[in-house]
Amino acid sequence: MLPSITAKWRIRKYSCGAASLQEDDIATEYPLTVRLDGEEFATIVCSPTDLEEMIIGFLASEGVIRQAAEIESLRIDEERGFVYVELFNKHSTSKDEVSKRFIGSCCGKSRQFYFHNDARTARTSMSRMTISPAQCSALIRLLQNSSGEFKLTGGVHNAALCTATELLAVRTDIGRHNALDKLFGYSLQQRVAITDKIIAFSGRLSSEVVLKAAKIGVGILLSKSAPTDLALKLAEDLGITCVGFIRGHEMNVYTHGHRIVE
């Protein structure tokens, strides 16, 4: 049986110089080891929710599969923390390529920073999707209001697959990349058309987050937090609109601002 996404912990809380004993809600960490076609492939430390979606999204993100239908069987041993995946076409890519640096011949552009699996799976967005500043703010508000786990613990990331006006799916995890992999798995399982979709995200826009968005296939990435410089270089190169610091009626549009329209 899977543990809860949160756990109780006894703490001594100080407030205005006075101490009291209380119970606090803490985010749960759950190590899950992936065995792919009989061999150990990776161990993911995650929140124990939506694990099948996460594994499907992770394998797609790593370039192992392109569609959920390529998986012959997927079985999760919740007690031992193992997931057993068998593919119809047995996996042949070396595990080393998951983390081996790839140097491309792209005249100094940001794609020289890709790993081998990123070079295979990150796609340049051709999305014609547009969204207004007011809709950006509304989606971030909806995302913030959707997560009871974040309100309890402050220790998880939230990611949502959206249209311009609503959240289609919200996923939560202690790892920002895991939350995005869960969305990726959801979109593959449900066969969601991605080109007119948006990702709203609770955390920092790092290079890893931008690459995950590119692999999923969205053209617009929204966050209430800050980006990094490499994330923006990648977003510029991959055709992804990055909007950060969405707070109240303010926001910063960093890349491909033609998708943000009044």
39-46 contact pairs (CB < 8 A, 24+): 41/85, 41/91, 41/95, 42/95, 42/98, 44/175, 44/178, 45/174, 45/175, 46/173, 46/174, 46/175, 46/178
Q: Which residue matches tokens 């150990």?
A: 40
Which 3 state secondary structure label does DSSP give 60?
helix
What Å distances lie between residue 74 and 37, 50, 61, 71, CA to CA? 10, 13, 17, 7
Catalytic residue, chosen from 46, 106, 107, 136, is 107
Q: Tell me the two tokens of residue 201.
A: 């995200």
Crossing angle for the helix pair 51-61 and 176-189, nearest 10 degrees?
90
Say whether 46 is catalytic.
Answer: no
**CA count, 13 A, side-chain hemisphere, 234:** 26
Taking the C-alpha atoms of residue 16 and residue 107, their distance in angstroms, rounded to an integer, is: 58
Task: Quickly tell me which residue has 């800050």 as its tokens.
Answer: 226
For residue 228, which of 248, 203, 195 has the smallest C-alpha distance?
203
Cβ(88)–Cβ(37) under 8 Å? no
Distance set, CA 68 to CA 52, 61, 147, 149, 155 (Å): 11, 12, 27, 28, 30
The residues annotated with a catalytic role in the active site are 107
